[in-house]
Amino acid sequence: MTQLQYKVAVVTGASSGIGKGIATALAERQVQLVLAGRNQARLEETANHLKETYNAQVETVITDVTQRRQVEQLVEQAKSHYGHLDVIVNSAGQMLSPAITDGDVEAWETMIDVNVKGTLYGINAALPHFKKQGSGHIINIASISGFEVTKQSTMYSATKAAIHTITQGLEKELARTGIRVTSISPGMVDTPMGSGDSGDRKKLEAKNIAEAVVYALEQPSHVNVNEITVRPV
């Protein structure tokens, strides 16, 4: 079992929803955190809560994950402040739901920029550090929507399918390097982004996804949990 205390983790999309839940679960385990997001007030509120509740070491960096240089600076700041980096959680995401036939090209571009390119920028920024130290863990938040498409989710589902494929391929590229890669695919989660209809199933909570992240991180160093799917009952 890998001990998480004093590990250093960057979490994007950390000011609310799943990202905030992941940051909380890691703070409970005394992981040293760098939280990234676009909303400074909510980011600082989250950081202050974690400091007061768990006596956590938390830094915040205002970051737009669609801007590659900002993501690179985020990772550099984490390494500069703590001296190393062990984990990056790519949790920032956008769920817009226009059908392709609606022709809402701006919504498509937003989801591609945030969900796909933002994740790739995080991976690209962290990899040189992980390769140099011969260890590290990349966690990408995908979605059940990457496997199951509705007529209103085509483009969102496409971006999350891309995250799944990127994670699967990256695991093969990084085999025998000591670097682990995991995708977490949640069902409907009770967050501001997950405000849609979940039918007759109770929505998941952000902490349920956070526990899946912790499970993957705590595995022995020779074990890579490459994929986790979390559904409501």
Contact (CB, 8 A) for 50 and 24: yes
Non-local CB neighbours of 141 within 8 Å, separated by 6+ positions: 13, 18, 19, 89, 90, 91, 93, 163, 183, 184, 186, 209
d(CA 198, CA 129): 40
CB 126 within 8 A of CB 149: no
Of 6, 54, 121, 156, the catalytic one is 156
List Cα–Cα distances, 47 to 33, 196, 229, in angstroms.
9, 28, 28
Cβ pair 114, 108 in contact under 8 A? no
Tokens standing for residue 2: 């890998």
CA-based nearest residue to 160, from 132, 176, 140: 140
**Rounded distance between C-alpha atoms, residue 18 and residue 77, angstroms:** 23
In the residue annotation, 156 being an active-site residue is answered as yes
- Burial of residue 122 (CB within 10 Å: 0-12, 13-18, 19+) is buried
Catalytic residues: 156
